[in-house]
Amino acid sequence: MMLRLLSKSHSRLLIILAAMLPAFALAEETGASTGHASYATTFLWIAILLVAAKVASLVEKVGQPSVLGELVMGVILGNLILIGIPWFEHPKGDAMILFLSELGVVILLFQIGLESNMKKMMQVGLRALLVATIGVILPFVLGTYLVGPWLLPGESFTTYLFLGAALTATSVGITARVFRDLGKLQTPEAQIVLGAAVIDDVMGLIILAVVSAIATTGSVSTLDVALITGKSIGFLVGAIILGHMAAPLLGRIFSLIHTGVGMKFTLAISFGLFFAAAAQFIGLAPIVGAFAAGLVLDPVHFRYFKDHKIVSHVQSVVADAPENVKRKVGEAMEEHADRHIDELIEPLGHFLVPIFFVMTGMAVKIETMFDTSIMLVALAITFAACIGKIASGIAAGPVRKSLVGWGMVPRGEVGLIFASIGRGLGVVSDQVFSVIVIVVILTTLCTPPVLTFLLKKKTA
Amino acid sequence: MMLRLLSKSHSRLLIILAAMLPAFALAEETGASTGHASYATTFLWIAILLVAAKVASLVEKVGQPSVLGELVMGVILGNLILIGIPWFEHPKGDAMILFLSELGVVILLFQIGLESNMKKMMQVGLRALLVATIGVILPFVLGTYLVGPWLLPGESFTTYLFLGAALTATSVGITARVFRDLGKLQTPEAQIVLGAAVIDDVMGLIILAVVSAIATTGSVSTLDVALITGKSIGFLVGAIILGHMAAPLLGRIFSLIHTGVGMKFTLAISFGLFFAAAAQFIGLAPIVGAFAAGLVLDPVHFRYFKDHKIVSHVQSVVADAPENVKRKVGEAMEEHADRHIDELIEPLGHFLVPIFFVMTGMAVKIETMFDTSIMLVALAITFAACIGKIASGIAAGPVRKSLVGWGMVPRGEVGLIFASIGRGLGVVSDQVFSVIVIVVILTTLCTPPVLTFLLKKKTA
């Protein structure tokens, strides 16, 4: 089909385009640009990453969510250097692309928050708390007291503590994308996983702070633990209450300045970024703040803003239609023009979110898997890590427990952060670090296909 | 009205929110964040800049384009330090925000290109060339041979050359935003200014390369001039021809992977970024490439992609309407769903473009205006710079010449680039640099109100 659609002259053009790529690489090396601060390379790489992500969405043809395609595309591009192709090394060290990637995951969790229903979330709140608690305690105990000492003998107890801690935090971005790609974000299972992952992040933060204190000072006071705990819980509760009060007020004030769709967009995105920043200042992951912001933001708060352009556009289209048609169309358009905030944020998501997932894939170092003994240890720890999270699904109540359990499996970048802090403190060796990296890779890459399989199976 | 809308409890909430700001500043200073690469400050500042830009759009209430509000807001925030308020110094040095700002102007010119009509542009091509030529030669001659030696006696001829060169290049972003804010982008005047500004940038580049060569080697060969000229013209012609051939092909190939609106968005934005990068690699400003990309991209190339979500949403809204209503609505929605690319890019513009204009305003150093002798010289040179550009409007043919001439007045960042390269080469003193900075400020800030006045005046 592809071949039939492309005429001869088109193929020739493709060859010209392909031939231009090395010229670009050359220009980059020789620094051919003059004068202007050179962001050209970054612009080019954003374009390449976005197109690569879209090519990877071919996996949808075989029923897989596009996030899996983006991750695998990242893994492939990021490791081409192993077979002597160094073309794709640039983005790994491009500060701007790393920033856009981080902004992407913040936007994603803001979007997920917008699509999540606060009421539904409250309904599953207790169960999410239980799932989170089990999903933190079990992997932590397994890592620290069982698989750590057993599979990595001779390391210090603090090392095992860090291994256990690294196994606790759920990376919710991947699970949320899978549920979203398959249109299952509104299921109770999805809401429980989202709630549990947020609670889990708070618990993980407390554990990290405590474990770090033990590693540096040898001990930690109960007061410190209480302080960290209080601060974290205080933030979440405060963010939700304050956000609920502030959003309608801000909507009203800014509608006095302008009632266009641009104002609605700006208010929403600024709200999300403000909460993301607040979360990080308090020591939580910015994605927790962005999620909370999305959760409290309700389209009704911003009902003052309309997409005047679309309304007048469609009105002009049906200008000569009979009166009753015009009225009906007008009503339908009013509803549509009162666009939900998530539709406004979507193009920004299209721009930034794929960068995050491709970059996450690119950070995977396949060569760490080549050492057989490390690989075996990592496989065993991955198994323990999965068991701990899957078991937490038991607390999810009358829903599909396996879905919830598997949804909690990916460790993603949070586990890597724990590992790198441990390495910074000198208690996590290169060997243990490699093990944690492999565990993160495996849990991240195995979740999308498993969840997809479970979601497509009709019965639980 | 404001007061009546805000109840007492609301005002109390506002006070709480205001009280939180210093806490943020403290958290930033003490580096309270742990673990995660800290982008929190950047996130916070993006939110602040976006909200500040929207507050500044209050100028629309007095009939001014919002771009003027954004610029002035930037000037105010960026100079608050002069009255002892250092709160807004951060973004000036935030590499990520500077990058987003640059990405913003690229997106803006891509949008302007999308909204420009290639055919209309061709129709005014010759007149644009004439306007550009006069608008480059006149200020260059005035700067180098007249006002330079007269107002800044004792400097070298090379300095005057740089002064003249800095007066040539038009910064099209500001003019384009004014025309756009007032819905006049489709007028022949706007098309002439846009075309002339692109040609002008190419000429400016050639002058810069030649003048730099003179400053470093003392002379320059005719061959070098020919080479630089050929490369620049070659890029523009090549980009437009290649883009015209590649766009439909890319649309067809990628529609085989996915026909959603996300694919359409990604293709368009990648196309723009690719051309921006290509322009910079060749030594032109990235905005020239982005504009060319927008110019050649026609919605018809991407007709394969539809916004399936909106179609099904509105169809469900009118599901129980009579058959003829449903058909009519269906037709209207089909047309709307086949959304123009510029509507998809718009939210990204809402996010990035205001950052560029507020940051441009913030770069203005008001204190340079405090030295009376420098200020007087700068005022005189600004006068000469304006005269040179306004006179170029004469070549615009049977349109409102004053609109075209004033549209060419802003020098913006391009003039600053010339000045800083000159300073880097040691031929532009701090005094001359300050003069050029003031000329840029004045031409940038005076254009929006003058253009607005001219555009709102009924007769020419």
For residue B6, the model assigns a pLDDT of 42
Domain assignment present for residue A451? The answer is: yes
Rounded distance between C-alpha atoms, residue B119 and residue B126, angstroms: 13
Q: In angstroms, rounded to a whole number, what is the distance separating the alpha carbons of residues B278 and A24?
A: 8
CA separation for the pair A87, A78 (Å, rounded): 9
Query: What is the pLDDT averaged over residues B275-296?
Result: 84
Q: Tens of pLDDT along B358-413?
A: 987 887 777 777 888 888 888 988 888 888 888 888 888 788 888 888 888 887 66
Reported as a single tens digit per residue, the pLDDT across B298-345 is 766 666 666 555 566 566 656 666 676 667 666 666 655 556 788 888
H or E stretch including B296? helix B286-296
Whether the full predicted model's pTM is greater than 0.90, yes or no, is no
Q: Is pLDDT of B24 > 80?
A: no
Q: What is the pLDDT of residue B8?
A: 46
Q: What pLDDT is recorded for position B317?
A: 59
Segment of A325-329, B154-158, B295-299 carrying the highest mean pLDDT: B154-158
Q: Is A137 helix (H, G, I), strand (E, B) or coil?
A: helix
Chain B, nearest residue to A204 by Cα:
B35
Given a cut of 70, the residues of chain A with pLDDT beneath it are 1-37, 117, 120, 205, 219-220, 299-322, 324-326, 328-339, 412-414, 417, 458-460
What average pLDDT does this structure show over B275-300?
82
Mean per-residue pLDDT over chain B, rounded = 79
How much is the ipTM here?
0.77
pLDDT at A294: 87
pLDDT score for A301: 64
Tell me which residue range forms the domain holding B191: 68-78+99-303+338-456
- Is A333 a member of any domain? no
CA-based nearest distance B380→chain A, Å: 27
The pLDDT, as a whole number, for residue A344 is 85
Give the whole-angstrom CA distance, residue A231 versus residue B111: 45
Distance CA A248, CA A260 (A): 16
What totals of helices (H) and strands (E) does chain A contain, helices first?
A: 21, 0
pLDDT for A333 equals 61
Number of folded domains that form chain B: 1
- Closest A-chain CA to B41: A277
Kindly state the helix (H) or strand (E) to which residue B350 belongs, with its residue range.
helix B341-362
Q: Which chain B residues contact residue A249 at CB under 8 A?
A: 6, 10, 13-14
In the prediction, which pLDDT does B315 show?
A: 61
- The residue type found at A250 is L
Handedness of CA A230, A233, A235, A237 (dihedral sign): negative
For residue B394, give how far its alpha carbon lies from the nearest alpha carbon of chain A (Å). Answer: 31
Can you tell me the mean pLDDT for B280-292?
Answer: 81
Yes or no, beta carbons of A257 and B24 under 8 Å apart: no
- Return the pLDDT at B313: 59
SS3 at position B35: coil
Q: Is B397 left (phi over 0), alpha (psi -120 to 50) or beta?
A: left
Residue B15 lies in a domain: no
Report yes or no: A416 and A437 within 8 Å, Cβ to Cβ: yes
User: Averaged over B241-251, what is the pLDDT?
Assistant: 86
* A313 within domain boundaries: no
Record: contact A54-B258, CB cut-off 8 A:
yes
Residues of A with CB below 8 A from B51's CB?
Answer: 266-267, 270
With respect to residue A329, please indicate whether it lies within any of the assigned structural domains.
no
Which of A235-258 are b and which e, b meaning 16 or more Cβ less than 10 Å from the residue's Cβ? bbeebbebbebbbbbbbbbbbeeb
**C-alpha span between B352 and B358 (Å, rounded):** 10
- The pLDDT score that the predictor gives to residue A339 is 60
Sign for the pseudo-dihedral over CA of B73, B79, B81, B84: negative
Across the A:B interface, residue pairs with CB atoms under 8 Å apart total 267
pLDDT tens, residue by residue, B163-181: 888 888 787 778 888 888 8
pLDDT at B357: 85
**Domain CATH code at residue A364:** 1.20.1530.20
Whether B415 is covered by a domain: the verdict is yes
What is residue A37's predicted lDDT score, i.e. its pLDDT?
47
Give B-chain residues touching A16 at CB under 8 angstroms: 242
- What is the model's pLDDT at position B13? 47
Chain A residues whose CB is inside 8 A of the B36 CB are 280, 285-286, 417
pLDDT at B237 over 60: yes
Task: Say if A191 falls within a structural domain.
Answer: yes
Alpha carbon distance B408, A330 (integer Å): 42
